[in-house]
Structure 1
Amino acid sequence: MDVLRTPDARFADLPDYPWAPHYLDVAASDTEPVRMHYLDEGPRDGRVVVLLHGEPSWSYLYRTMLPPLVEAGYRVLVPDLIGFGKSDKPTKIDDYTYLRHVEWVTAWIEALDLTDITVFVQDWGSLIGLRVAAEQEQRFSRIMVGNGFLPTADRGVPAAFKIWRAFARYTPVFPTGRILQTGTVNKLPKEVVKAYDAPYPSAKYQAGARAFPGLVPTDPDNVAVPANRAAWEVLCRWEKPFLCVFGANDLILGKADKPLIENVPGAKGQPHDRIRAGHFIQEDAGPELARRMIDWGA
C-alpha cells in the first residue's frame, strides 16, 4: 500500500483540541503495519472509556465529550481510524476493507491491553466497534450507541443512504467539513468546519473517507455479512449494560436504535432516549452525551 501522512502543521491551533498525540503501529492480517493516532487522557488507573468515530470525521468529533469524562475520573481513549485524522492514510479506495478496519482497531486494543472497556460508537464506529466488542467480549463491560448500527443485509436501505454512497464515490470534490455540517442541527463555526478539513490537504488523502459507504454490507452476498451475523449472535445474548442515545434528526440512522433495544438483553431497562440532534450527535450534544454516560455509571 502507498500511505500518506498528513503534515502536523495542518493540525496546529485547532479550537478546543489541546491534547498530545499518541501513536501506535497496527497491522491487519494482510497488511504491513500502519500508524494509528489516538488520544489518551485521564488517570491511567481510571476506568477505560473508548470513543469511536465514523465517517468522515476524526477524534476532533469528541472534543466536547472528552473533558467531562476525564474530570469524572475516566481514562478516555479516542483513536483516529486508519485513513482519518492524524492516522496514516492508504491512498487507494481498495486499500480499505471492513475486515481490515476491524483488525486495525482490534490490534490497537490488544497492543494497549485495554480491559473493562466502556465504548461509545457512532456511524462507522458502530459497524467496527460492535463487531470488535462481540469478537472481544471479554474486554468490554458496557456499550453505548449513538446513531449507529450493525448491518447484516436483511433490512431495506434508505434512499438517503444510496444517494450518500454514490456521492462519496463519484463526486469530484468531497468537502469534509461541509458534510459534517449537513449532519448536524446546529450551525458549525467556520473554524470547526476547517478543523474537519484539516486531515485532508488534497483529494489524495481522502480514499478512506470515500471508501466507507461502499463497504456497508447491504447485499446478502457481501463478504462481511457472515461475521456481522456472528456478532449479532453474541449481541443477542449480551447481558452487560447496553444503552442507545440517538439523534432524532438523522434521516438515515435516527430510528436504528429500535432493533438494538429490542434484541440486546442488556438494553432492557436502560435509559434509552432520542434527543434533538443530527447524525453527528457528538457535535450537537457532546456534553450531554458525556453527562448521560457518567450518570449511567460507565
Structure 2
Amino acid sequence: MRILRTDEARFQSLPDYPFAPHYLDVEPGLRMHFVDEGPVAASPVVMLHGEPSWSYLYRHMIPLVASAGHRVLAPDLIGFGKSDKPASVTDYSYQRHINWLTHWLESLELTNITLVCQNWGSLLGLRLAAEKPHLFQRIIVGNGMLPTGETRIPPVFTMWKAFATHSPWFPVGRIVQLGTERALSRAELAAYEAPFPSPEYKAGARAFPKLVPISPDDPASEPNRAAWKVLEKWRKPFITCFSSGDPITRGGDRYMQRRIPGAYGQPHITLRGGHFLQEDSPEDFARIINDALKSVRAA
C-alpha cells in the first residue's frame, strides 16, 4: 500500500483552525491526525466528519464545546485532512475504516464517550458504538444514517456516486459548498482543498460513495444489520439533530427516532442549513451537545 502524506505547510494559517495537531499510528506506517481540545480528564466528545470533509468542518463547534468544560476529539479519517492517504481507491473499505477508528479509540483509552457524527461519520460512528457499546454514553446524529442496503437509494446519491467514480474533476471545496447554504469564503474553500495537493491524494474521498451499502449482499450490509440489532435495544440517550435542507438524509431522523429506544423523549431538533449543518448552524449544533451533557450533570 503506497501512502501519501500531505505537507504540513498546506495547513498553515487556515481560518478559524488554531488547534494543535495530534497523531497516532492506526497500523504500522499509517498515521491518523486528530484534534484534542479541552480538559483531558473530562468525558470525551468525539466528533466524526464525513465525505469529503475533515476535522476543519467542526472548527466553529470545537471551541464552544471545549470551553463548556468538555474534552473534544475530532479525528481526520484516513484519506482525509492531515491524516495519511493510501494512494489507491482499492486501499479503502468500510471495514478498514472501522478497524482504523477502533484502533484509534482503544489506543487513547476513551470511555464514557459522547458521539457526534454526520454523513460517513455516522456510517462509521453508529457501527462503532454498536460494536463497542460499553465505551459510549450517548449519541448525537446530524444528517446521517446506518444503511443496510435494504431501502431505496435517493436519486441524488446515485448521481453523486457516479460523479465520484467517473469524473476526472473532483473539486472538494466546491462539493462542500454545494452541501452548504451559506457562501464559504475563498479561504474556507481553500482549507477544504488543503489536504489534497494533487488528484492522487483524493483516493479516499473518491472511494467513500462506492462503499455505501446499496444492496443486502454488500460486504458491509450484514455487519450493519448486526449493529442495528444492538441499536434497537439502545436505551442510552440518542438525539437527532438534522438540518432542514438535506436531500440525501431527509427523513432519517424520524426513522431512527422510531426504531431506537434511547431516542424516546429526547430533544430532537431540526436546524437551518444544508447537508453540512456544521457550517450553517454550528452554534446551535454545539448548544445541543452542551445541553445534553449539562442535563446529565444536573441529574
TM-score under structure 1 length normalisation = 0.97
- Please tell me the residue identity of whatever aligns with 2:24: L
Aligned partners of 1:58 and 1:80 also within 8 Å = yes
Aligned residue in 2 for 1:9: 9
Alignment of 1:60-139 (within 5 A): 60-139=56-135
1:254-276: CA deviations, max 9, x gaps?
A: 22111111000000000111121
1:183, distance to aligned residue in structure 2 (A): 0.2
Alignment of 1:201-220 (within 5 A): 201-220=197-216
- Please tell me the residue identity of whatever aligns with 1:89: K
C-alpha separation between the residues in 2 aligned to 1:96 and 1:210?
A: 10
Does the alignment pair 1:170 with 2:149? no
Does the alignment pair 1:46 with 2:42? yes
Stretches of structure 2 that go unaligned for 5 or more consecutive residues are 295-299
Two-structure CA RMSD over aligned residues (Å): 0.8
Does the alignment pair 1:222 with 2:218? yes
1:137-194: CA deviations, max 9, x gaps?
A: 0000000000000001110000000000000111111100000000011111111011
Aligned partners of 2:271 and 2:284 also within 8 Å = no
Does the alignment pair 1:254 with 2:254? no
- Please tell me the residue identity of whatever aligns with 1:19: F
- Please tell me the residue identity of whatever aligns with 1:17: Y
1:109, distance to aligned residue in structure 2 (A): 0.3
C-alpha separation between the residues in 2 aligned to 1:286 and 1:236?
A: 29
C-alpha separation between the residues in 1 aligned to 2:291 and 2:248?
A: 28
C-alpha separation between the residues in 2 aligned to 1:193 and 1:127?
A: 25
Q: Secondary structure at the match of 1:185?
A: coil
Aligned partners of 1:254 and 1:279 also within 8 Å = no
Aligned partners of 1:54 and 1:125 also within 8 Å = yes
C-alpha separation between the residues in 2 aligned to 1:275 and 1:41?
A: 25
C-alpha separation between the residues in 2 aligned to 1:74 and 1:64?
A: 15
Aligned residue in 1 for 2:192: 196
**Which has the larger displacement, 281-290 or 95-104?**
281-290
1:33, distance to aligned residue in structure 2 (A): 4.4
Distance change >3 Å, CA 33–CA 262, structure 1 → 2: farther
C-alpha separation between the residues in 2 aligned to 1:297 and 1:84?
A: 29
- Please tell me the residue identity of whatever aligns with 2:214: T
Stretches of structure 1 that go unaligned for 5 or more consecutive residues are none
C-alpha separation between the residues in 2 aligned to 1:248 and 1:215?
A: 26
How many residues align structurally?
A: 294
Equivalent in 265, 288, 292 of residue 261 of structure 2: 265
Identity %: 55
Does the alignment pair 1:141 with 2:156? no
C-alpha separation between the residues in 2 aligned to 1:158 and 1:277?
A: 19
Aligned residue in 1 for 2:25: 25
Deviating above 6 A after TM superposition, structure 1's stretches of 4 or more consecutive aligned residues are none
